[in-house]
Structure 1
Amino acid sequence: MRPVDIASLTSVGRPSIAPDGSFTVFATSRPDLGADRNVGQIWRIDLPDGAPRRLTRGVSDSSPQVSPDGERVAFVRADADGTSQIFVIPASGGEPVQATEARGGVGSFAWSPDGGRIAFTARVLEQGRYGTVEGRPAEAESPRRITGIRWHANGLGYIADRPSHLFIIDVPDTGAEPFYAPAPTATGEAGKAPRVAAEAMALTAGAVSHHGVVFTADGAHVLTVLDEIEDDRRDLRTPLVAVAVDGSATIEVLARGAGYSIDDVSVAHDGTVAVLASRPGESGIDFIAPDVALYVLEGPLSAPAPRALTDPDTVDLGEVGSHITPLGDDFLVQNRTRGRVELLRVTRDGSVHALVDGDIEVGGHAAAGERVVFSHATPRSLGELSLLGAGPLTTFGEAAAAHVLARPEEREIVARDGYPVHGWVAVPAGEGPFPVILQIHGGPHASYGIHLFDETQVLVDAGYAVVYCNPRGSAGYGRAHGRSIRGAMGTVDMADVLDFLDGVVDDDARLDGARVGIQGGSYGGYLTAWTIAHDHRFAGAIVERGFLDPVSFQGTSDIGSFFGDEYVGTEPDDMARQSPMAVVRSVRTPTLVMHSELDFRCPLEQATRYYAALKRQGTEAEMLIFPGENHELTRSGRPRHRVERFDAVLEWWSRHLPAR
């Protein structure tokens, strides 16, 4: 796979299914180099064996939801101003009708049970900011007064002056007369055509944000999670409330003091509320390898008694994007394990059954009756949609499969202390020996998986063998595995990646252990920087968007109020003991530092200070900074920037670790 071949990578979002199971809709997304953006549309497949067809022809349509009567589909599209809004289209196809006009953009949304209204979240912009005053640029705005411990978020920016609130609106009639712009009058004045048929009613107000929209079974309330910026110390526990759609009193379903951090909410046919939630402890910030479980809230909304249906020590429901789908009296959830993501069916007595497993990573699911559809990735495809029991319904991966040169081979190596380390090696065709690049994933509580991975395939295409694993600290191997580096970053995790590298190289004659490079992003950037200060075998290194200095991270990152506290501690000696900046003087490896200008997760100063230290001491180093990008560059950045990044990676390795 060449860098430009990322244009063949199509991902498939969470599907929605008609109430009678007769059809499903879903969104796709792929990088388009010509448009220099990610593009995608809404698709429909008639079940059980129809062919996929485009339902919309927008530039980047997403998040489709079928109405309760199965006659319409609501989805998110950018309006004429480039702001995300809800549009509604007949389920059979036709011209979409704009339903919302939220200046701050729509977040999540849901149909009311009767199909007559849509509730949604949208950010409410402070007057005088974000273009609310025409002709007033951002640099002319008044200063922001910060009083809490959080003020920004990666991919968004400032948050206190644009809280997310809950609204409800009548669903537009997709068969109604269109709006027309009035013709100019004799005075030369011309009006503008309205965009929407009805004005949204605000259900919440104030400084507290609201995330998630789920109607109760009777349609009288909307369940949503509160996010209040703390004054003094971070608290990951999140209250769950039920907001009455008639504007009357709000019911507190789960108070902050109940101790839950809620990831997803769903409501079953009988009105039972289910949540995916973890318990961040008395400190409120114990988030490492979180004990995410599926709970049902039993009793009235005002006095629920959460009951766990799954055991977080045996079932890991913490994968990003995990959600709940009611299926009769049961629930569907996603379990990550050893680089895979399974689809599980959980009964109300706590029985767990795998519906989909094997070499697959499930990304989303929907159900009607006993008919289940799910999106997923495989070793040869970044995204497909399948019908449970019938197999794949799409073939989006065929375009990418033409560029796949190697299917990674699974390995398990015994580390120096006897611990098993699981991972993969991808090798170019031929006998070798090939130079080797050790890749390290981010997180750290994340994992490499079995899906088609452009990072690996681009390097293999250039002639490199790629070795990567899930060391201690990763997800998918039990909570003890994930929590093992708490207060001990750069210890067993570094040993694991190095022992895995040595074990794979020793067992495979195609790999040249005398020619080795190392690279990683985010936590992978951390462990790369840490490793090259302690092991000098590498011909070169790439440190990307790294967590490099725990001290400055606390006051600059959007997660600085808790991330470093939990992983490396708050005592100066503990922080220094696990800090790449504290040992940068030991680095002799030529290092390319890559970062994004608007990265608020691992802020740019982490990279610039690390790079400056390398240069000051005479270590060969270069730095590459991407304008306008954030922490998600490699996953959702501008396609041309992604290609330029790959070009820079390959050029760096061609100089320091030539493959041919």
Structure 2
Amino acid sequence: MKPEQLSLLNSVSAPAIHPDGTKAVVSVTRPDFDADSYVGQLWSIPLDTTKHPRRITRGFKDTSPAFSPDGLVLAFLRSEPDGKPQLFVVEAAGGEPQRITDQHAGVGSFEWAPDSHRIAFAARVPEQGRYGTVDGVTAGGEDGRLITTNQYRANGLGYTSDQRQQLFVVEVPELGGEPAVALRGRAAHEQPARVVSGVPAARQITFGDADHESACFSADGSQLYFVAGLQEGHDEDLVTSIYRVDASGGQPIAVEPSTGKLQTVAEVRTSTDGQWLFYLAQDMGETGRDFVARNTSLHAMPIGGGEATRLTDVEYLDVSGPLEPSGPASVLVLNTALGSVELLDVPAEGGITPLVHGARVVIGATVAANGEIAVSYSDATTVGDVASLERGELRLLTDFSAGLRNNSRVSEPLDVEATSEDGHPIHGWLVLPDGPGPHPVLLNIHGGPFAQYTGAYFDEAQVYAAAGYAVVMCNPRGSSGYGQAHGRAIKQRMGTVDMRDVLAFLDSALAAVDALDEDRVGIMGGSYGGYLTAWTIAHDHRFKASIVERGFLDPVSFTGSSDIGWFFGGEYTGGTPEQMAAQSPMAVAGAVTTPTLVVHSENDLRCPIEQGQRYYSQLKSQGVETALLVFPGEDHELSRSGTPHHRRQRFEHILRWWAKFLPTASNQPDAPK
């Protein structure tokens, strides 16, 4: 894959299956260079393979499809080129979509009521005078902000305390009815108070000083359940809980498990039989902030609260949503495991049935009333496709990555096992370019650190392999998917066993594969991967060059500048000056001699740009060959969801850097001008 082929990456959403099981609908989005944005529409996927998938909407960016419980209406989010996502509905049999929200900041997520006549949705409510709510008042002209809390901004969003996410309920209009028309002439003069917008009025249900998330209706539709941090002292910890509120409005009531543990609840879903609350949660220790490498577990408790049962093993399973009902009292969940993402079916009474496993990354799945299951997934040869699950086997229904495979070679990753110096097993992959070699090698380190590489299609590895590089990547201690002990091994020990693991994995690959050139090796990584890259080149000088991207580089300044700085560094490195210095790349930057490209984004609030600027300045001052690549308007997610132009340009700069220090036949330095 070449940087200019980013537009061939078709990403597929979790599927929405029709209640009758005949079809599923997904959104298919891709980077578009002409729009310098992400575009996409909804596709209908027949589960009958004699019929063909087809595009059913024509919006600029249509996402998040969901059928009403009665199957008559399809709801989705639509974004215009410079607009915010709004909620639209269309008859499931086809027709013209109708917009039913007009939220200033757009709609974030939504959920159908059981009666198929109402939808609950989440939207940020900006304070009057901010974020363009008053004509003529720009961002630079807003009133000053007086900040007294720890949690006041978030990467990709900015300030949060003056635009809390609240929950709303909107009535879905009769789609077959006559559309409203704008008043004109005498009617406009005689009825000035009547405004006809065609958008029904939504009722705001929550008003608390916190973000309200994961709304779902009770089985009878009378109540809304949601997740928020509304407890006293919520600014001092990471605890969130489940609440219930009347679907027509009122005071929220906490629905608490009897365990008494401090938890972060990520998602809640009512069972279709109305008896249970399923929810995903992480234990946060005694402080409510001990988040390091905490696996997420699925729990079930009675609908009114009380004794909660943990349904998944907290040590070895790390589950996530979307929670989708699979029966009257069971749900589907995803499980991060050994470089894959599995699909599990879990009933409230206990027991787990694996449905999809192996070398795949499941994106989402839904179950129809007749038991048909639609699954979206990615693997080594597809960015995303849809399949039906039949007798434990996936039956492929789409081929959205055909254009990618037809126009570029897909280098399938080789599964590799290695052993660290203390005997700990390390799992990872090797992606080889064409030709016999010996190939220069790029050691890639993932972010997180509690995250994982997988064997699924990875644009980074494919771009580098196409340019002639062998890509080595693994999941060292600190990563997710291999149990909590594996993830928590670097708590207050960053840069120890994790560095030894990635170097042992690299050495093992170099020794085992003759096609790798052990004398021409580079190292690179982003976020935590930027941290470990910067830390490693201060201790190991074998690398011809390095790239440190959006790195966590100085725990001291990170504490006061990052959106998560108030808790992250203290939990990972420990909070004393001595602990921070012992694990700080800035503290050992003086030992670096490796040529280093530092990449950062101006709007990165997760690892603020000062981290990269100060690191670059330090290397520059001591004579290390270095450069600082800064992207305006981008945040911490540049490499994954930045504008298509910047994503392509980022790849081009990275390849130029490697061409300078590790040239290949297909990636040569620029000719002098």
TM interval, short-chain normalised: over 0.9
Are residues 346 and 437 of structure 1, via their aligned partners in 2, closer, same or farther at CA, if it must alter by over 3 Å? same
SS at match of 1:178: coil
Structure 2 residue 492 is the aligned partner of structure 1 residue 483 = no
The aligned amino acid for 1:220 is: S
Counterpart of 1:210 (choices 206, 212, 227) is 212
Q: Which runs of 4+ in 1 moved over 6 A?
A: 185-193, 229-232
2:589 to 561, 581, 584: 584
Cα distance in 2 for partners of 1:494, 1:469 equals 11
Deviates more, 1:192-201 or 1:27-36: 192-201
Report if aligned partners of 1:266, 1:326 keep a CA contact under 8 Å in 2: no
2:630 corresponds to? 625
1:193 to partner: Cα distance: 7.5
Match of 1:106 in 2: 107
CA–CA separation in structure 1 for the residues paired with 2:532 and 2:505: 14
Farther off after superposition, 39-48 or 87-96 = 39-48
Q: Structure 2 CA distance, aligned partners of 1:48 and 1:148?
A: 55
What is residue 95 of structure 2 aligned with on the other side? 94
Which residue matches 1:262?
265
Is contact 1:325–1:333 with CA below 8 Å preserved after alignment? no
After superposition, the Cα gap between the structure-2 partners of 1:186 and 1:392, relative to the gap in structure 1 and judged at 3 Å, is closer
Aligned to 1:151: 152
What is the CA-CA distance between 1:413 and the residue it aligns to? 1.1
Residue 236 of structure 2: SS of its match in structure 1? Answer: coil
SS of the residue 2:620 aligns to: helix
Distance in 1 between the 2:166 and 2:380 partners?
40
Segments of structure 2 that go 5 or more residues without pairing to the other structure are 666-673
Measured against aligned partners, the alpha-carbon deviations of 1:509-558 in whole angstroms (never above 9, x if no partner) come to 10000001000001000000000000111111000011001111111111
State the match for 2:570 in structure 1. 565
SS at match of 1:31: strand
Q: For the structure 1 residues 146 and 582, does the alpha-carbon distance in structure 2 shift closer, same or farther, using more than 3 Å as the test?
A: same
Shift of 1:612: 0.9
1:330 maps to which residue?
330
CA contact (8 A) 2:562 2:605 kept: yes
Query: What SS does the corresponding residue of 2:226 show, helix, strand or coil?
Result: strand
Task: List aligned pairs for 1:485-500, cutoff 5 A.
Answer: 485-500=490-505
Q: Evaluate the alpha carbon distance shift between residue 471 and residue 587 of structure 1 in structure 2; reply closer, same or farther with a 3 A threshold.
A: same
Which of 470, 473, 478 is 2:478 aligned to?
473
Distance in 2, matches of 1:312 and 1:548, equals 31
Q: Given that residues 333 and 346 in structure 1 are in contact (C-alpha distance below 8 angstroms), is that contact kept between their aligned partners in structure 2?
A: yes
Structure 1 residues 625 and 323: alpha-carbon distance in aligned structure 2, compared to 1, 3 A threshold: farther
How far apart are residue 187 of structure 1 and its match? 11
For residue 406 of structure 1, the aligned residue among 401, 407, 411 is 411
Q: 2:350 matched to 1:350?
A: yes
Deviates more, 1:80-89 or 1:63-72: 80-89
Question: Which deviations, in whole Å up to 9, do the C-alpha atoms of 1:423-444 show, x marking residues without a partner?
Answer: 1111112211111110000010
Alpha-carbon distance in 2 for matches of 1:652, 1:382: 27
Match of 1:315 among 317, 320, 323: 317
Query: CA–CA distance in 2 between the matches of 1:273 and 1:215?
Result: 11
Hey, what's the Cα distance between the residues in 1 that align with 2:6 and 2:136?
Answer: 38
1:221 and 2:223 correspond: yes
Q: Which residue of 1 aligns with 2:203?
A: 201
Q: 2:179, 2:198 within 8 Å by CA — same for their partners in 1? A: no
Partner residue in 2 for 1:609 = 614
Which has the higher mean CA deviation after the structures are superposed, 572-581 or 38-47? 38-47
CA shift, 1:314, in A, is: 2.5
In structure 2, relative to structure 1, the CA distance for the partners of 1:296 and 1:423 (3 Å cut) is same
State yes or no: 1:393 paired with 2:397. Answer: yes
Distance of 1:399 and 1:445 partners within structure 2: 33
1:137-176 superposed Cα distances (whole Å, 9 cap, x missing partner)? 1111110011111111111100010111111111022222
Does structure 1 retain, via aligned residues, the 8 Å contact 2:59–2:80? no
2:319 partner SS: coil
AA at the equivalent of 1:380: T
- Whole-angstrom distance in 2 between the partners of 1:26 and 1:136: 39
Q: Secondary structure at the match of 1:582?
A: helix
Per-residue CA deviations over 1:81-119 (Å, capped at 9, x if unaligned) read: 712211101112221101111112111211111011111
Cα distance, 1:291–1:119 mapped onto 2, change above 3 Å:
same
Alignment CA distance shift 1:222-1:187 (3 Å): closer
Deviations 1:235-277 (A, max 9, x none): 1110210110122443211289652211121122211210111
Contact preservation (8 Å) 2:14, 2:363: yes
Structure 2 distance, partners of 1:11, 1:80, is 18
- In structure 1, the gaps of 5 or more residues are none
Q: Find the counterpart in structure 2 of residue 122 from structure 1.
A: 123
Is residue 2:468 matched to residue 1:463? yes
**Superposition map of 1:33-182 within 5 A:** 33-49=33-49, 50-78=51-79, 82-182=83-183
Match of residue 522, structure 1, among 523, 527, 532:
527
* 1:340-385 CA distance string (max 9 Å, x none): 1111112333211211112211011111232111110010001011
* Matched residue SS, 1:145: coil
Q: Percent identity?
A: 48
Shift, 1:233, TM fit: 5.7
CA distance in 1, matches of 2:230, 2:198: 31
Q: SS where residue 289 of structure 1 aligns?
A: coil
Q: Secondary structure at the match of 1:569?
A: coil
**C-alpha distance 230-157 of structure 1, shift in aligned 2 (>3 A):** farther
Distance in 2 separating the partners of 1:113 and 1:232: 32
Any conservation in 2 of the 1:559–1:601 contact (CA below 8 Å)? yes
Structure 1 CA distance for aligned equivalents of residues 90 and 643 of structure 2: 29
Q: Closer, same or farther in 2 for the Cα pair 1:248/1:188, shift >3 Å?
A: closer
- Change in Cα spacing, 1:187 to 1:238, as seen in structure 2 (3 Å) is closer
Aligned length: 656
CA shift in 2, pair 1:80/1:197, >3 Å: farther
On the 8 A contact 1:150/1:230 being kept in 2, the answer is: no
* Pairing 1:575–2:576 present: no
